[in-house]
Amino acid sequence: MYTIQNSELCVTVSPVGAELQSVRDVRSATEYLWQGDSRWWSGRSPILFPIVGGLWNGTCRLGDTTMQLAKHGFVRRRPWRMVEHEAQRVRFELVGTVGDYAVFPFAFSLSVTYTLEGRKVLADFEVRNLGGSELFFQLGGHPALNLPGWCEEEPVDGYLKLEGSAESVLRVGEQGCWLPERHAVPREADGLVPLGVDTFAHEALIFDQGQVTAATLLDKQRRPVARVESTAPVWLFWSPQGLHTPFVCCEPWYGLCDAVGFEGTVPQRPYMQCAPAGGSWQGGFSIEVLGC
């Protein structure tokens, strides 16, 4: 484990998946990141690459090549190499191997740098194309935030305040892929999205088309807890379907899972990202701790 700290926050990262393990307030010792209780979900903040979500029938096509790729890709369970570690900054890197070519035929390196700025954790991604042709990929964050004062007997455990122009959501259909129909955002009269089992009756709230730019988690008294911000064109808000859980995932995605029945090629998948031959791509997200 690697730790970075300033006067406000103490953050721990695992080299397995370069995954955040803890975001803790130094003064109050309050933990803001879900701690991976397998009763609900064992993850904490996995990095999704080279796809986000799932493929229709688990299959993608590139030219005449057909590949099978698991949901959310393969880097979240890989050991990453720590390449830089300072008091308030740590950087990890993963370089693709020849063995990856069976499911992802591109030469690449992927890095994430976690940096502390006051009460904010920055997660900056860089994808480098080490090959001689365009590199197509998707990348996503999946941070899970604790719901303060969670109580199994209460139907609502907090709220989301969305920034941007959120007007509609997509729903999940067969195989975890999305359906084309759009639905109203499940807001209350004050514009906030309540968090409870019913909110995730269709697995996730999916906002595409750049509708969301940031999301603030509020507690049951509508007090701000934490804010996630990103330039990602797609956001998912998720909690395990049918379970009353003590956390919510705020997921900025540079990509989207397949639509139900999709049979196109890799470049035709929704919100594909591209790094030119010999070039690179940058993206990321931040988590700002607002509670005390």
Find out whether 209 and 233 touch, Cβ atoms under 8 Å: yes
Q: What's the average model confidence in pLDDT over 273-282?
A: 96
The pTM of the full predicted model, rounded to 2 decimals, is 0.95
- Here the CATH number for the domain that contains residue 80 is 2.70.98.10
What's the pLDDT score for residue 103? 85
51 Cβ contact partners less than 8 Å away, ≥ 6 residues apart:
60, 69, 71, 72, 73, 137, 138, 255, 257, 269
Question: How high is the pLDDT of residue 132?
Answer: 87
Q: Kindly tell me if the per-residue pLDDT of 291 is higher than 80.
A: no
Q: What percent of the chain has pLDDT over 70?
A: 100
Looking at residue 151, its pLDDT comes to: 87
Say how far apart CA 145 and CA 128 lie, in whole Å. 30
Percentage of the chain exceeding pLDDT 90: 80
- What's the mean pLDDT in 28-46? 95
Across the range 235-262, mean pLDDT stands at: 94
* Cβ–Cβ < 8 Å for 251, 76: no
- Average pLDDT score over residue span 38-50: 95
**36-41 contacts at long range (C-beta below 8 A, 24 or more positions apart):** 37/246, 40/240, 40/243, 40/245, 40/246, 40/247, 41/144, 41/240, 41/245, 41/247
Q: How many whole angstroms separate alpha carbon 5 and alpha carbon 118?
A: 10
Q: How many domains does the chain have?
A: 1
User: pLDDT tens, 137-178?
Assistant: 999 999 999 999 888 888 899 999 999 999 999 999 999 999
pLDDT at 292 over 80: no
Strand partners, 212: 164
pLDDT band for 242, please (50, 70, 90 cuts).
Answer: confident
The residue with greater pLDDT, 236 or 59, is: 236
Peptide bond before residue 267 is cis, with ω within 30 degrees of 0: no
**Hey, CA dihedral for 34, 40, 43, 46, is it positive or negative?**
negative
| Structural domain span for residue 126 | 2-289
Q: What are phi and psi of 166, to 5 degrees?
A: -70, 115
**What pLDDT digit, counting tens, does each position of 78-131 carry?**
999 999 999 999 999 999 888 888 888 889 999 999 999 999 999 999 999 999
